[in-house]
Structure 1
Amino acid sequence: MTRRSRRALPAVLAALVLLAASVLVAVCAIQLALGETPLLSYESVAGRLSGTTWSALEVAVAGGVVAAVGLVLFLVAVVPGRARTAALDQHTAVSVRGLRNALRSAAQVDGVESAAVKVRRRRVRAVVRTRRSVVDGLGDTVRTALEHRVGEFALARPPQVVVRVKALRSTS
């Protein structure tokens, strides 16, 4: 069970463009029904389009733009997004955000000031910061703690744990 990210932004943009076109057509139709001058005159649009040939540069540019937008929307719909869950077994999963937060708290061993954790499909990267001047063994301690916490989750494919230790310079 792998949940993928939603495609909210492209869907909203496409919906807004279609909504704007629909509102424009509806406003013009209502204005015509009331006998007023429409916002966008049908005669001027039809006259302009009837005077344009299929071989005109404007038609080729408009066709290219529409084809490019269509291709981008198609690719956004077909290409899978980033996984939002990590599989525990065939039927259960844990959110990547929850796993990251649990690993960040596990990385807070003695001597660690702060920890930043990135969870990917095959790798967990942790960057820990310490005020210690001697950091020997701290990376191994954090790695052991992270591997233990990953083991507690019993992921279907446990990721490799990579730890990087940064020593902060003392301000005193």
Structure 2
Amino acid sequence: MKRRTRRGVPATLTAVVLLAACVVVAVVAIQMIAGATPWLSYPSVARTLHDAHWNDPVPAVAGGVSALLGVILLLAAMLPGRLTVLPLEGEVDSGASRRSYRSTLRSAASTVDGVSRARVKLRRRSISAEVTTGRTNTDGLADAVSRAIERRLDQLTPVARPAVRVRVHAARSTS
């Protein structure tokens, strides 16, 4: 089970731009039919486009921008997004949401003696945990948190085992 993020932002932006263009064309057409002065004069737009040459900077820049936006939208549609459901091993096709995965790893890090606060970030191939402690001597705390997270990962059995990195921040200084 590999669910990926939806491409909502590029699709919404494309839809809004196309909707705006359609609204402008419709309003100008209605204004022309009604006999009112249109926002955009068709003869002036046609004259401007007719007078433009391919080697002028305006058509070249407009074409370049259009091509760049097309490539960006194409890449956004084709490249895989971040997993929203992380696959777990087992006989049944199962997975865990990123939120629940992160919270269960954070609770595992928080159970270690001396940890007052834990933050966990999930990346594609790694898990980074930042823990805060009230201790002045933090020797061995990073290893203990890493072992706790590794034990929880053994219970979860993810398909792709991420590397675990732990950083410890002492709330009090040693001086």
| 1:113 aligned counterpart, secondary structure | strand
Listed one character per residue, the Cα deviations across residues 52-74 of structure 1 (whole Å, up to 9, x for unaligned) are 22332222121111111111111
| 1:132 aligned counterpart, secondary structure | coil
Q: 1:52/1:139 Cα in 2 relative to 1: closer, same or farther (>3 Å)?
A: closer
Q: Which amino acid aligns with 2:75?
A: L
| 2:3 aligned counterpart, secondary structure | coil
| 1:107 aligned counterpart, secondary structure | helix
| 2:165 aligned counterpart, secondary structure | strand
Q: Which amino acid aligns with 1:22?
A: C
The whole-number CA distance in structure 2 between the counterparts of 1:138 and 1:55 is: 66
Deviation, 1:29, is: 1.0
Deviates more, 1:131-140 or 1:93-102: 131-140
**Counterpart position of 2:72:** 72
Match of 1:145 among 145, 148, 159: 148
Deviates more, 1:116-125 or 1:14-23: 116-125
Considering fraction of residues, name the structure with more strand: 2
Q: 1:46/1:113 Cα in 2 relative to 1: closer, same or farther (>3 Å)?
A: same
Deviation, 1:140, is: 2.4
| 2:17 aligned counterpart, secondary structure | helix
The whole-number CA distance in structure 2 between the counterparts of 1:17 and 1:87 is: 37
The whole-number CA distance in structure 2 between the counterparts of 1:5 and 1:33 is: 45
Summarize the alignment of residues 69-108 of structure 1 with structure 2, pairs less than 5 Å apart.
69-89=69-89, 91-108=93-110
**Counterpart position of 1:116:** 119
Deviation, 1:12, is: 1.3
Listed one character per residue, the Cα deviations across residues 118-139 of structure 1 (whole Å, up to 9, x for unaligned) are 1223322111110101122322
| 2:115 aligned counterpart, secondary structure | coil
Deviation, 1:45, is: 0.6
1:154 aligns with 2:157: yes
Task: Name the count of aligned residue pairs.
Answer: 170
Summarize the alignment of residues 30-45 of structure 1 with structure 2, pairs less than 5 Å apart.
30-45=30-45
Deviation, 1:20, is: 0.6
Deviation, 1:18, is: 0.5
The whole-number CA distance in structure 2 between the counterparts of 1:163 and 1:46 is: 64
**Structure 1: tracts of 5 or more residues without a match:** none
- TM-score by length of structure 1 reads 0.90
The whole-number CA distance in structure 2 between the counterparts of 1:122 and 1:66 is: 35
The whole-number CA distance in structure 2 between the counterparts of 1:61 and 1:139 is: 54
Deviates more, 1:11-20 or 1:45-54: 45-54
The whole-number CA distance in structure 1 between the counterparts of 2:167 and 2:43 is: 68
Listed one character per residue, the Cα deviations across residues 47-102 of structure 1 (whole Å, up to 9, x for unaligned) are 11122223322221211111111111111111211222211137211112210111
**Counterpart position of 2:128:** 125
Q: Which amino acid aligns with 2:163?
A: Q
The whole-number CA distance in structure 2 between the counterparts of 1:61 and 1:122 is: 40
